[in-house]
Structure 1
């Protein structure tokens, strides 16, 4: 067990401690217990990319370096601020007060002092951003810098990239001075409390809502491993019912099977409980009646997309889901299947070829079966906006779409689904031989996006790109064959 000796805090440590004191302590003394996922690293990388762009948009200025040397960063900042008659914008300026260190994204000189601009890769101001900025402003002001205003610069989701590297307008700065000024009064209390936490032993805090709000905690598995094993069917599998779940837990109900049937009024919740108690799946014969009316050929369709915080293709917006891959299994009346697919890993805008190949393969008649129609139909609508000459044909695809998700939710449940109707939870219960767990490299949508980014990176080798190509095709094809098998199960075949 490490001996608590650290009292120095940073902005990120304080934010972590306000979320959970145990997270702060573990992040200081037990970093070996941290689990960093590729997805969380991708979020971190996106933040760095937006920060790099902010220095271009708010420049010119001086970047304070020495990421791993606090003393040198503080000294370089002090030197830059003392240059009489040559005030300039500073990026990553370092300040310290009461053993709290902060680095300011942008410190811009104005009449009578400086403006602080914190840069975030979100599309709006969040409550935790205000806390973040209050900590910075408190340290900077107490370090002797006159702050005039505090701004939160975030991504404008309405920004449309016109190309040629012109990102003016991507970031919009909101004045949050009033909110930050009010919060600054609480910072000294936070600092004293969290420094006391660091002087003590590991806090005993059970896992709960704080493990994912406002951020997923990288120490969740460490903390969960020290707690008693969950019930086989915990009440938390009742989705979209936070108030009910909290009430049941407060009353001592941990196992859903122990909850009185009359406590659950939602038919889907009742179905989940009954299946958990009996161990038997539920299949409503009405599903077969609904599906038997579908004509042929049947097209089982799935898309994969990429969403850049900083758009790289003209005509796209920040975080817009841009499709780069589709898979389709086509079923004829005699039960025969053939697969069609499209995947573009060139790094160029894939949308025109995506659209044209999709139209060629889906024809003009027959139902198009998807799982969560809003996603695919939304992407088709985007494509129709981008390509007016294809718009009518593309929008006609949306008229043919049939969503298997609500049909499945209303007519099927298996205890192994654990309250979820995700296709990845449903498929193992109807076709266990097609389990996603046996897929390499790409086994979910998040991994598909990471695979795309890796495959299109200029430094990725041809062999690795080929491996990722195969993995992406297997994954997207698994989604569509999954829908084939699901429809067969719902239809009683």
Structure 2
């Protein structure tokens, strides 16, 4: 059996995913731009973490010569090198690369580097298979650690990697996992020994935990024809009711019995879908609209995150605003548009905060969709730049949430599929706006924007100009979409 630590952890989540990865790769969903960015972040964090263990040597990765990597590791261990990065070991077909191996007079220490901000259970399995291989090879391992980002760290002028990272001793946890590994390996070997027959493992909560499986689309839609909107949308995946209905062969919402016990919200979702009817509470929508005063400032931020903060005052994975769009709607129907896109390569926050307080007065209605995000960004800016603090916090005092009428089910259509996300509300109310996003060039959603901005510095002049234009067009459409959604709400009351 040929197995790496990444394949082992994939099998921990679902053995079928392991089999598909080995023998039926074509059905797996390729990683999207966000996933690729996450992989890239992991590599950068891994390289930086090696500086916590200075003067080591790195075994150069060569997928065509794992035996050579193993030999290099062995040679360096015999030389007495204290730290070996990507130390490589092979036992009975199981290949493991240890991020950082420390050689001490008392034995070996394993350090697994992760770009996350906490120790997840799956990481313990990752370390446990490394420990298993080293023990089977006869090495004495004294301790095992996970090195991860500390998101409470706030960068000063200089980056302090000793504060950026946390080193957590997980020896007890991974030692406890050792007893189950031989049985797991036998199980996986049995699955892999049968190349012709795909494992018959049903769908469930493991399809999304700890990660969304790259075989989910295949297992759910291709094999089982799970519709886009199903009992899995009404009831949480893995919940008692979802498991119960699925166990009875009920997937389609229209097949849920009338007598089935549900909460009031669940019943409403089910009935709306069965009736294919739109529900509108005009009085409640009017009450919401009455809280808005003209001019209305439709606001949307775009942000990105850094695992390793580049600038002073920023924490790992903090939401860093680099852009905003502002559509200002007046009582006579006229619309103004203002926007800012930060310069690449520099901290965009100060200029953004400065322009924001110039563009938005302290006493006007500001409308956002899912306002907690915009208010959170504003509050962080206020904390970072005291000179703008009072103004920014006053803006927050006047923020209203366009999501509110949909969240409270004042306006429900079957097309919303029980969701109040703008992803579902917009195509239901303003389908032409939803189509407009598809025609955008390059940047069509928040993830695209978040991934594009940090790469501007490395782009050619022409590519950078095109990307900046695409970012501006996308963010502008976000607030224009809000204007159109609000217009639909007004039409309900005016009819």
> What TM bracket, shorter-length normalisation?
over 0.9
**How far off is 1:289 after superposition?**
2.5
Q: State TM-score, norm by structure 2.
A: 0.93
SS in 2 for 1:263: coil
Distance in 2, Cα, partners of 1:473 & 1:207: 41
**How far off is 1:359 after superposition?**
0.8
Q: 2:72 aligns with which of 64, 72, 76?
A: 76
Structure 2 partner of 1:400: 398
Q: 1:40 aligns with which of 21, 35, 38?
A: 35
Q: 1:53 aligns with which of 40, 48, 67?
A: 48
Distance in 2, Cα, partners of 1:488 & 1:269: 28
Structure 1 partner of 2:180: 186
User: Which structure 2 residues correspond to residues 291-310 of structure 1 after superposition, within 5 A?
Assistant: 291-310=289-308
Q: 2:265 aligns with which of 247, 264, 268?
A: 268
Structure 2 partner of 1:249: 246
Post-superposition CA distance 1:106-136 (Å, at most 9, x none): 1112341121111111111111111111110
Post-superposition CA distance 1:231-251 (Å, at most 9, x none): 474112226573332333233
Worse-matched range after superposition: 243-252 or 148-157:
243-252
SS in 1 for 2:163: coil
Worse-matched range after superposition: 230-239 or 163-172:
230-239
Distance in 1, Cα, partners of 2:396 & 2:240: 36
**How far off is 1:283 after superposition?**
1.5
Structure 1 partner of 2:310: 312
Distance in 1, Cα, partners of 2:227 & 2:32: 26
Structure 2 partner of 1:3: none
For the 8 Å contact 2:77–2:103, the answer to whether it is kept is no
Distance in 2, Cα, partners of 1:61 & 1:176: 23
SS in 1 for 2:286: helix
Worse-matched range after superposition: 413-422 or 269-278:
269-278
Q: 1:222 aligns with which of 218, 223, 235?
A: 218
Worse-matched range after superposition: 38-47 or 272-281:
272-281
Matched residues, number? 483
Worse-matched range after superposition: 27-36 or 377-386:
27-36
For the 8 Å contact 2:61–2:69, the answer to whether it is kept is yes
Distance in 2, Cα, partners of 1:32 & 1:299: 47
Structure 1 partner of 2:126: 132
Structure 1 partner of 2:326: 328
User: Which structure 2 residues correspond to residues 75-474 of structure 1 after superposition, within 5 A?
Assistant: 75-83=71-79, 86-201=80-195, 202-231=198-227, 233-238=229-234, 240=236, 242-263=239-260, 265-285=262-282, 286-410=284-408, 411-435=410-434, 436-456=437-457, 458=458, 460-474=459-473
SS in 2 for 1:185: helix
Distance in 2, Cα, partners of 1:358 & 1:239: 41
Distance in 2, Cα, partners of 1:261 & 1:340: 51
For the 8 Å contact 2:363–2:394, the answer to whether it is kept is no
SS in 2 for 1:339: strand
Structure 2 partner of 1:4: none
**How far off is 1:406 after superposition?**
2.5
For the 8 Å contact 2:19–2:192, the answer to whether it is kept is yes
Post-superposition CA distance 1:286-340 (Å, at most 9, x none): 1123213421110111111011111111110000001001111101111111111
Distance in 2, Cα, partners of 1:66 & 1:120: 18
Distance in 1, Cα, partners of 2:228 & 2:453: 36
Post-superposition CA distance 1:144-164 (Å, at most 9, x none): 221111111111111111133
Q: State TM-score, norm by structure 1.
A: 0.94
Distance 1:27-1:221 versus aligned 2 partners, 3 A rule: same
Worse-matched range after superposition: 375-384 or 106-115:
106-115
For the 8 Å contact 1:328–1:341, the answer to whether it is kept is yes
For the 8 Å contact 2:327–2:336, the answer to whether it is kept is yes
Distance in 1, Cα, partners of 2:20 & 2:236: 31
For the 8 Å contact 2:220–2:226, the answer to whether it is kept is no
Unaligned runs of 5+ in 1: 1-6
Distance in 2, Cα, partners of 1:231 & 1:216: 18
For the 8 Å contact 1:8–1:195, the answer to whether it is kept is no
Distance 1:381-1:293 versus aligned 2 partners, 3 A rule: closer
